[in-house]
Structure 1
Amino acid sequence: MSTAERVHIRPVAEAVLAARGAEQPLAGRVALVTGGSRGLGREIAIAFAAAGADVAVVSRKKDACVELAEELADATGRRVSAHAAHVADWDRLTGLLDEVDSELGPVDILVNNAGIAPLYPSLDEVSEELFDKVIGVNLKGPFRLMAAAGRRMAANGGGVILNISSIASVRPTAADLPYAAAKAALNTLTAGFAQEYGPTVRVNTILAGPFFTDISRAWDLAAFDEMAESWPLHRGGRPDEIVGAALYLCGPSAGFTTGALLAVDGGRLAAP
Structure 2
Amino acid sequence: MSGFDLSGKVAVVTGGSRGLGLAIARGLAEAGAAVAVASRKLESCEAVAAEIVAAGGQASAHAFNAGRWADCDRLFAEVEARWGGAQILVNNVGKSPVAPSSLETSEELYDMVFAVNLKAVFRLSALFGAQMKAAGSGSIINISSTGTLRPDPSFAPYAAAKTGVGLYTTTFAQELGPQVRVNTVMPGPFHTDATKAWSRSDGFTDYARRVLPLGRGGEPQEIVGAVLYLASDLSSFTTGACIKVDGGHSIAKSGDSQPPS
Band the TM-score falls in, shorter-chain normalisation: over 0.9
Displacement of 1:131 in angstroms is 0.5
Contact 2:3–2:232 (CA<8 Å) still a contact in 1? no
Aligned residues: 251
Matched, 1:133 2:112: yes
Query: Residue 106 of structure 1 aligns with which residue?
Result: 85
TM-score by length of 1: 0.90
Contact 1:97–1:149 (CA<8 Å) still a contact in 2? yes
Displacement of 1:22 in angstroms is 7.1
Structure 2 Cα separation of the partners of residues 183 and 211 of structure 1: 16
Matched, 1:165 2:138: no
Matched, 1:31 2:11: yes
Structure 1 Cα separation of the partners of residues 193 and 2 of structure 2: 31
Query: Residue 10 of structure 1 aligns with which residue?
Result: none
Query: Residue 271 of structure 1 aligns with which residue?
Result: 252
Query: Residue 72 of structure 2 aligns with which residue?
Result: 93
Q: 1:183-262 counterparts in 2 under 5 A?
A: 183-219=162-198, 221-229=201-209, 230-262=211-243
Query: Residue 45 of structure 2 aligns with which residue?
Result: 65
Say which of 154, 159, 184 aligns to 2:133: 154
Matched, 1:54 2:10: no
The one-letter amino acid paired with 1:68 is V
Contact 2:4–2:229 (CA<8 Å) still a contact in 1? no
The one-letter amino acid paired with 1:248 is Y
Structure 2 Cα separation of the partners of residues 87 and 110 of structure 1: 14
Answer with 45-54 or 219-228: which moved more. Answer: 219-228
Answer with 90-99 or 203-212: which moved more. Answer: 90-99
Identity of aligned residues (%): 50
Q: Which runs of 4+ in 1 moved over 3 A?
A: 21-24
Structure 1 Cα separation of the partners of residues 205 and 57 of structure 2: 39
Answer with 194-203 or 169-178: which moved more. Answer: 169-178
Displacement of 1:202 in angstroms is 0.3
SS in 2 for 1:207: strand
Displacement of 1:23 in angstroms is 7.0
Displacement of 1:217 in angstroms is 2.1
Structure 2 Cα separation of the partners of residues 169 and 23 of structure 1: 31
SS in 2 for 1:33: strand
Contact 1:85–1:93 (CA<8 Å) still a contact in 2? yes
Query: Residue 21 of structure 2 aligns with which residue?
Result: 41
Query: Residue 257 of structure 2 aligns with which residue?
Result: none
Say which of 48, 54, 68 aligns to 1:74: 54
The one-letter amino acid paired with 2:52 is L
Contact 2:14–2:92 (CA<8 Å) still a contact in 1? yes
Contact 1:26–1:48 (CA<8 Å) still a contact in 2? yes
Task: Mark the runs of 5 or more structure 2 residues left unpaired by the alignment.
Answer: 254-261
The CA deviation string for residues 105-145 of structure 1, in whole angstroms up to 9 with x for no partner, is: 21110000000001211111111100110000101111111
SS in 2 for 1:116: coil
SS in 1 for 2:12: strand
Structure 1 Cα separation of the partners of residues 183 and 116 of structure 2: 18
Displacement of 1:103 in angstroms is 1.2
Query: Residue 121 of structure 2 aligns with which residue?
Result: 142
Displacement of 1:78 in angstroms is 2.4
The one-letter amino acid paired with 1:257 is T
> What is the Cα-based RMSD across aligned positions, in Å?
1.3
The one-letter amino acid paired with 1:252 is D
Task: Mark the runs of 5 or more structure 1 residues left unpaired by the alignment.
Answer: 1-20
